[in-house]
Amino acid sequence: MKIDSIINGIVIDHITAGSGMKLYGLLGLDELDCSVALIRNVASRKTGKKDIIKIDADIPVSFDVIGYVDPGITVNIIKDGVITEKKTIELPETLTNVIKCKNPRCITTVEQELDHVFKLVDRDTKTYRCIYCEAKAE
Amino acid sequence: MKSLIDILDLSVEEIDSLLDTALDIIANPKKYSEVCHGKKLATLFFEPSTRTRLSFEAAMMELGGNVIGFSEASSSSASKGESVADTAKVISCYADIIAMRHPKEGAPLVASMNASIPVINAGDGGHNHPTQTLADLLTIKREKGHFDGLTVGFCGDLKFGRTVHSLINALSRYTGIKFVLISPDELKLPGYVIRDVIEKNGLPYLETRSLEEVMPELDILYMTRVQGERFFSEEEYLRLRDSYILDTEKLKSAKEDLVIMHPLPRVNEISVSVDRDPRACYFKQVLNGKFVRMALILKLLTEAGTI
Ligand SMILES: [Zn+2]
């Protein structure tokens, strides 16, 4: 894959330098068959350095995961060689099965089938709480 | 479907109207004695709490309704590994409303997300117990007539006491409340409750180790149990314990219309001699708990269109 010339796919841009690898894992990109490029420490006018992920296929990605790991990222959807959609991702209101509740007294510890859902309670401090037991996300 | 999981699920207006209904039930019990005729409350108690269960069951019976349920997990399908979600779906086919107690935090919320009938949280571990808070609020309302401007003292274990956190949450929505927080350093009210609840609402508070010092100021004194296992050492516990026991001697400097409360059961933190004092309201709290549960069952069944 020529990393600059995606025909149909997704470019995740403006990732904080160093977070690319974490996002790569959380999005499950290691399990994809298509070509995926993680480019680290790219020179950026805004922040000095950034990471970029390019996925050479139009797969569904969880914007919630992206927003949680690194709010401020831009996601570009590319169709037939042109950017058809450009989204700046914000901190999501809810996180479903992105992080797990670690409170041993929480119902999610005994019922494995339950979704792990966290709600944003404070945007300034980026605080999420479990909807079941209200424990803070770490 | 409206349920009650957390006291903050209710707006101030909803709480005020629930308390008004409870007062009307107290004044005109006959008017309400058949309103739930033919309806069933399911008490699903995954851990035993006889006091709370009987309060719910008595409430439903006084509304003319019936009660089904179980009082511990071993006598339910949970012992065969059924999930809370499935239990809620199954019980929805038999009953009109659920009161659920569960040792795990958040279990009643899971039930409410899966039931097609209202769910009342009757205590989920150390997390929420909203009907206890409603009983506390009704007691204050009956004894004082209002909430605004009261000086409310909480004494004992303010760190782990869920009833304390929940009542502070509910009272913080009224104006002019002052909190006096009386506890040993080890059992102080958690910083997040002070920050996110008391300070956020701009209410004054005072933290102290001495009950005697603040006694003359208090309109309400809410006592809690100080448990030995919360302390690092036995000596420390024994040294501190006595200063958080309420007796007739300590009450000498208190206001004549002080309201003494306790979520019960007590061990020794209120001396039995205090029971004869007309300011002792902890057994009235129990009775108020039944009345406010009646009002709550009525509200939720009405909103669900069941009655
Ligand atoms: Zn949890």
Could you tell me which residue, B34 or A7, shows the higher pLDDT?
Answer: B34
Same domain, A101 and A120: yes
Q: Could you say which of A106, A113, A134 has the minimum Cβ distance to residue B83?
A: A113
Kind of pairing, strands A48-55 and A9-16?
antiparallel
State how far the Cα of B47 lies from the Cα of B51, in Å rounded to an integer.
Answer: 12
> Residue A4: what pLDDT?
64
Phi, psi of B252 (to 5 degrees): -60, -35
Q: In this structure, is residue A4 part of a structural domain?
A: no
> What is the dihedral sign for C-alpha B62, B67, B71, B73?
negative
Pair (A124, A72) in one structural domain? no
pLDDT in tens, A111-122: 989 999 999 999
Peptide bond into A71 cis (omega under 30): no
Nearest to B126 among A105, A130, A132 (CB): A105
pTM reported for the whole predicted model: 0.91
Query: Chain B partners of A127 at a C-beta cutoff of 8 Å?
Result: none
Q: Is the pLDDT of residue B5 over 80?
A: yes
Q: ∠ CA B109-B72-B58 to the nearest 5 degrees?
A: 80
Number of domains in chain A: 2
Could you tell me which residues come within 8 angstroms of residue B198 by beta carbon, excluding any fewer than 6 positions away? B168, B172, B179, B205
Range of the domain at A18: 9-88
Asked if pLDDT for residue A104 goes beyond 60, the answer is yes
Identify all chain B residues contacting A114, using CB atoms and an 8 Å cutoff.
Answer: 85, 110
pLDDT of residue B107: 98
Local structure of B6: helix, strand or coil: coil
State residue B81 phi and psi, 5-degree precision: 95, 15
Neighbours of B93 (CB within 10 A): 8
Fold of B131-276: Rossmann fold (3.40.50)
**A130 Cα to chain B: minimum distance (Å):** 9
Q: Do B126 and A103 touch (CB under 8 A)?
A: no
For position A1, what pLDDT does the model report? 45
Q: What is the pLDDT of residue B243?
A: 80
Helix (H) / strand (E) containing A38 = strand A36-44
Helix (H) or strand (E) holding B240: helix B234-241
Tens of pLDDT, residues B230-276: 767 788 787 777 788 999 999 999 999 999 999 998 988 999 999 99
Together in a domain, A110 and A81: no
Instruction: Check CB contact under 8 Å for B104 and A110.
Output: yes
A83 and A25 part of one domain: yes
**Which pLDDT tens digit goes with each residue over B118-149?**
999 999 998 999 999 999 999 999 999 999 99
- The answer to whether A67 and A74 are in contact (CB under 8 A) is no
Same domain, A121 and A62: no
pLDDT tens column, B74-88: 877 777 789 999 999
Residue A91 distance to chain B (closest CA, Å): 21
Give the model's pLDDT for residue A30. 87
Asked whether residue A34 falls in the same domain as residue A57, the answer is: yes
Q: Which two tokens stand for residue A108?
A: 């999610």
- A38 and A71 part of one domain: yes
Q: Which has the closest alpha carbon to B131: B30, B39, B58, B204?
A: B58
- Residue B85: closest C-alpha in chain A: A114
Which sequence spans correspond to the domains of chain B? 7-128+286-303, 131-276
The amino acid at residue B57 is E
Q: Phi/psi zone of residue B23: left (φ > 0), alpha (ψ -120 to 50 degrees), beta?
A: alpha
CATH number at residue A38: 3.30.70.140
B225 SS3 class = coil
Chain A: closest CA distance from residue B172 (Å): 19
Residue A14 lies in a domain: yes
Q: Pick B110's closest partner by Cβ from A103, A109, A132.
A: A132
**What dotted CATH number matches B7-128+286-303?**
3.40.50.1370
Whether residue A124 sits in one domain with residue A99: yes
- Answer yes or no: same fold for B7-128+286-303 and B131-276: yes
Residue A138 domain-assigned (yes or no): no
- Model pLDDT for residues B165-218, shown as the tens digit of each residue: 999 999 999 999 999 999 998 899 999 999 999 999 999 999 999 999 999 999
